[in-house]
Amino acid sequence: MRSKGLLHTDTEIVVPFFDVDSMHVVWHGHYVKYLEVARCALLDQIGHNYTAMNESGYAWPVIDLQLRYVRGAVFGQKLNVRANLVEWENRLKINYLISDLQTGERLTRAMTVQVAVDLASREMQLASPKVFTDAVERALP
């Protein structure tokens, strides 16, 4: 069972026509975009979004991405994308659940890992920068 995390956010997405294939099913690559929308909402909730990360001197590239497709989303379907923050002290790990907004049926499960990279030296950091961990600590319930 995947960890639910200490912080989470829910984001609603309505599947647009331009995300589906000729069978009106979401093309698999678009799910990554849905994760990004939810991740940005979670980072906004923490108070340390990508703009703040950049201003603090760090980039946060995704170094690991896992997706498990259960059922394809379709054109016009309302989705809920839940992003759960599960790790932040040494890396940023987020678990996701994409489900049908109305029925709650699970459609996709995912996970991303990001690490801090110093923009000046381009060196990967072995621990998350204090400016980020402080922001997470302030956002915890």
Q: pTM of the full predicted structure?
A: 0.94
> Is 112 within a domain?
yes
Mean pLDDT confidence for 33-50: 97
Number of folded domains that form the chain: 1
Which one, of 80, 74, 100, 79, lies nearest residue 21 by Cα?
74
> Is 131 within a domain?
yes
> Is 108 within a domain?
yes
> Is 93 within a domain?
yes
Range of the domain at 38: 7-136
Residue 92 sits in a domain of what CATH number?
3.10.129.10
Q: Is the dihedral of CA 21, 68, 46, 10 positive or negative?
A: positive
> Is 14 within a domain?
yes
> Is 2 within a domain?
no
* pLDDT higher than 80, residue 3: no
pLDDT of amino acid 4 = 75
> Is 1 within a domain?
no
pLDDT digits (tens, 9 = 90+) for 87-119: 999 999 999 999 999 999 999 999 999 999 999
DSSP assigned state of 20: B
> Is 141 within a domain?
no
Which one, of 3, 13, 78, 82, lies nearest residue 45 by Cα?
82
